[in-house]
Amino acid sequence: MNDPKFRERVYAVVAQIPPGRIMTYGDIAAMAGQAHAARIVGGIAHFGSIELPWHRVVNRFGGLASGYPGGKRGHQKDLETEGVPIKDFIITDFEERRWTPGL
């Protein structure tokens, strides 16, 4: 029954990220079942549903993504709106805000 496309799973995980929380592409990819597909998550994010909270998804360094609609500028602003303190395009409380579904 669990045979949805990788993209479907990524959507589910991202959609489950609560406000004020963030996840890394690698974590999301691992939850989707492909720990080596962090790039795919990024690719899906670019071609995927923009209605999803992609702004809660950051890279392994807790930094903002590059292809985000509006650039890091918009990305940072969106995260700050969620209540995520950012500094120099890097989440200060990244390790504390890092969250995983099922936790």
Contacts with DNA by CB under 7 A lie at 5-7, 24-26, 34, 36-48, 50, 54, 57, 59-61, 65-69
Instruction: Report in angstroms how near the CB of residue 17 gets to DNA at its nearest.
Output: 13
d(CA 47, CA 21): 23
Instruction: Report in angstroms how near the CB of residue 22 gets to DNA at its nearest.
Output: 12
Whichever of 38 and 86 has its CB closer to DNA, that residue is 38
Whichever of 16 and 59 has its CB closer to DNA, that residue is 59
Whichever of 20 and 71 has its CB closer to DNA, that residue is 71
